[in-house]
Amino acid sequence: MNVTFKQRFTHETLEWNCTLDFTEFDQGGPMLLLVGAMGTDYEGEPIARCNAWIKGLAPDEVAIKNYFENEGMLDSLRAAGVVSAPVRYADSGHVQLPICKLLISQDELRIRAILAGRGLEAEKTIPREVLEGLVADLLLFLRVGCEDSRLTPAQREAAAELLRVRPPVLPGTRAIPDNAQRNAWYALVTQGIVDLSIPTDAVEEFCDLAGVAD
């Protein structure tokens, strides 16, 4: 997901074209990060941390760092559809932090982080429209398919990890053109099926989630 961060200073405003990345605080809860977008002179470089950890937030709430070098962050994230307007404010000890609802699910953030490989490698090898399609497919599976899924959460997570390490595919397909890479990755998938004791009637589901070609 792209975010244009308009960083406001007293005498000027800097505009950064960024990609939203995601990790977690040691204490738990989502940590939102902005890194330089693909094609910029600062591609992949850390630009800003969007939020701060404070105690007592709901799972879908974030405390936006909108002060000092981060001034303009709240408006930028709202414009990109990442967060809501502030629902309240919390005292961090030296500033009042706007508390906003996260409009992107943590599942989506995790999937995008996996596909982007933290260093945007997936976005360099997978066309944007294919990447967006993969995100949509995985989100649909997580939101709708979990109730009927024959896989455990750990098995679904393992499948997502196999998708993350899948070699480059032909645009718009799941086909891996390099024979050696394809065979090595298929061996990982097969071993995963064995190691995770995937039930016979769930193998197709596991392979589909891992991104195995039809």
Nearest to 63 by CA among 95, 20, 22, 18: 95
List the one residue out of 84, 94, 44 whose CA is nearest residue 64. 84
**pLDDT by residue (tens digit) across 85-107?**
999 999 988 899 999 999 887 66
The residue count for the chain: 214
Q: Which helix (H) or strand (E) element contains residue 157?
A: helix 153-164
pLDDT at 144: 45
For the segment 176-192, the average pLDDT, to the nearest whole number, is: 92
Condensed to tens digits (0 to 9), the pLDDT of residues 49-71 reads: 999 999 999 988 999 999 988 99
Asked whether residue 200 is domain-assigned, the answer is yes
Task: Write down which residue in 102, 135, 152 finishes a domain.
Answer: 102
Q: Are residues 8 and 88 in the same domain?
A: yes
Whether residue 108 lies inside any domain: the answer is no
DSSP 67: S
Within-domain flag for 107 = no
In a domain, residue 90? The reply is: yes
pLDDT number for residue 18: 92
**pLDDT computed for residue 37 by the predictor:** 85
Both 143 and 198 in one domain: the answer is yes
Query: Amino acid identity of 5?
Result: F
**143 and 52, same domain (yes or no):** no
Split at pLDDT 50, 70, 90, the class of 124 is: very low
In this structure, the answer to whether residues 139 and 51 fall within a common structural domain is no
Q: Which of 115-129, 166-180, 187-201 has the lowest mean pLDDT?
A: 115-129
Q: Report pLDDT for 131.
A: 61
Range of the domain at 149: 126-210
Residue that the structure tokens 């990345």 belong to: 21
Average pLDDT estimate for 129-136: 62
Q: Considering the domain boundaries, does residue 119 fall inside one?
A: no
Confirm whether 189 is domain-assigned: yes
Residue where a domain terminates, one of 43, 67, 102: 102
CA distance 90 to 94: 10
Number of domains, the chain: 2
Tokens of residue 165, six digits: 């390490």
Q: Check whether residue 188 and residue 130 sit in a common domain.
A: yes
Q: What is the pLDDT of residue 122?
A: 42
Question: Region 139-156: what's the mean pLDDT?
Answer: 68
CB contact at 8 A, 176 and 206: no
Does 198 reside within a domain? Answer: yes
Q: What is the pLDDT of residues 24-38, one digit of tens each?
A: 888 888 899 999 988
- Is 119 a residue whose pLDDT tops 50? no
**Residue 116 falls inside a structural domain:** no
138 and 192, same domain (yes or no): yes
If asked whether residues 196 and 159 sit together in one domain, one would say yes
- Is residue 28 located within the same domain as residue 76? yes
Q: Assess whether 49 and 98 both reside in one domain.
A: yes
Name which of 94-98, 115-119, 161-165 the model is least confident about. Answer: 115-119
Average pLDDT over residues 191-212: 91
Q: Which of 68, 102, 136 is the last residue of a domain?
A: 102
**Does this model's pTM top 0.75?**
no
96 and 148 housed in the same domain: no
CB 62, CB 75: distance < 8 Å: no
